[in-house]
Amino acid sequence: MAKKIALKLETIIGLEIHVQLKTKSKMFCRCDNTGEDQPPNTTICSICTGQPGTLPVVNDAAVRWGIKAALALNCQVAKQTKFDRKNYFYPDLPKGYQISQYDVPLASNGVYPMKIDGQEATIGIERVHLEEDSAKLVHPPGLKYSLVDFNRSGTPLLEIVTRPDFRTPAAARVFLQELRLLMRYLDISEADMEKGHLRCDANISLRPNGDLKFYPKTEIKNINSFKAVEKALLYEQKRQTELWQNNQAPDRQTTRGWNDKDSVTVEQRGKEGESDYRYFPEPDIPPLELSKDIEVIRAEMPELPAQRYTRYKEHFKLSDADTEFVISNKEMADYLEAVVSELKAWFVAEKPKERGREFLENRQEIIRLAAGWLINKLSKLVIDAKGSFGAIKITAENFAEFIKLIYSGEIGSRGAQEVLKVMFETGRDPSEIVVEKDLKQLGTLQDLELAIDKVITENPKPVEQYKKGKIETLQFLIGLVMKETRGRANPAIVNEMLVHKLR
């Protein structure tokens, strides 16, 4: 048996990512771009099925969205770009070639800042280009033939190629998750990996520490989740480490498929080179002049996650964890923004002469209260219902009113949870629910005093224990008062009055 070589190895990872754009029509024809939700072969035409004599026409929205993505990734957008034919034969490619971009991509030389294990890092973006998707092969179980669904053929894809700047599988996973969020903030793709809106081929190789040479890489395909990306890279990292230690380092580029069921990669073929695709300019599409569009699109760019994070930290004063949680869901972040705006309106409406002075003076406390209920309670209801913040029945105005009822002490925490549940199920006004269920906190000290006197009278043993110095008995008595008042009493006032009475 060959002796293993003790080596310290560095992992080199780069990603090739395809983002499916959610334009109304396909990349080069007018067919509906929602074919994945339609019966097979119903959203097709002579262009996207590659019929002879047809001419492609470039989708303007796809080009503009590609520029938006490139700017968000801090790329240099080409003032002029062109399309090319990438030739290869496969049953799901009706023309025998794919319209893509080769030597003059839409954008290149990007730099994306991110945190890896708490440390600031930058990931280089090699290129961003547009292309069309292939059709979809369907393999009926137990049968010896495959079927082709052309609905997906011609769907606009944005390919993002990173430089080999990742050193751990976890870093690659985090980047993909951040890229998904970025695409959603740009509103150009759902970027749902499980549905194929975001697909990733991961390239990995190893090299001895200190060696700057790049060795033959392995491309991993068929990865359909963020977790699978990390698992596949970890497996391949381990497999290649053993090859290096056995003096059998990879000497050629290969393509391997990820078998999620067995958690292994399986060799498929040798990796194609650029010359295998015989690229040449697409003769039916003239070059695109973009110089007038770039700055116009730059001026239309929305606020991106990193910018929103900074603003929330500066203006809302939320914790790091709460800020990250909120901005990780664009619909949730938009909802919080609307709630904050409505909260100010509620305080102004209550005391118009003061023009919301109380809100301005206690802004951070009120916003933190709203964010706390949104993160800890409302988001749980949304998740449990498998819904989304974009489709919940509670309007931002009603949620703001709900927060104001809590802030003003009109309802306690227990009553508030009951109100929120009804609001989530029905979308009703919180004030109506409070009245209907009689959840308003006790309005007079006399009502509360009667409840406290009853608890003291009916529970002589714990009262005596408290008087003898067993302080923890007080919480038991407070709980009894809260039960007696059906949660409508203010716990802080109950505590104060009980202590006074017992003394």
- Shared-domain flag, residues 365 and 449: no
Task: Find tokens 């749902």 and name the residue.
Answer: 192
- How much is the pTM? 0.84
Residue 3, in any domain of the structure: no
Structural domain includes residue 1 = no
Same domain, 421 and 379: yes
CA distance 76 to 104: 12
**Pair 90, 118 in one domain:** yes
Same domain as 227, residue 114: yes
Tens of pLDDT, residue by residue over 299-340, are 999 999 999 999 998 888 889 999 999 999 999 999 999 999
Listed as ranges, residues in the chain with pLDDT below 70 are: 1-4, 270-273, 350-360, 441-447, 487-488
Residues 484, 432, single domain; the answer is no
The confidence score (pLDDT) of residue 356 equals 56
What pLDDT is attached to residue 373? 96
**Is 425 a member of any domain?**
yes
Quick one: 422 and 471 in the same domain? no
Domain check: are 77 and 166 in the same one?
yes
- What's the structural domain count of the chain? 3
Decide if 4 is inside a domain. Answer: no
CATH number at residue 481: 1.10.10.410
Do 41 and 141 share a structural domain? yes
Both 248 and 350 in one domain: the answer is no
Q: Is residue 239 part of a domain?
A: yes
Per residue in 90-135, pLDDT tens? Answer: 889 999 999 999 999 999 999 999 988 778 899 999 999 999 999 9
Alpha carbons 378 and 313: distance in angstroms, whole number:
21
Residue at which a domain ends, from 383, 409, 436: 436
Instruction: Out of 414, 436, 458, pick the residue that ends a domain.
Output: 436
Which residue type does 482 have?
M
Could you give the CA distance from residue 36 to residue 15 in angstroms, rounded to a whole number? 25
Same domain as 425, residue 320: yes
pLDDT the model gives residue 445: 59
Residue ending a domain, among 240, 274, 299, is 299
Residues 262 and 361 in one domain: no
Reading phi first (left if > 0) and then psi (alpha if -120 to 50, else beta), residue 340 is in alpha
> From the centroid of its chain, how far is CA 302?
16
In this structure, the answer to whether residues 29 and 92 fall within a common structural domain is yes
Angle subtended at Cα 29 by Cα 26 and Cα 34, rounded to the nearest 5 degrees: 30
User: Range of 496's domain?
Assistant: 445-502
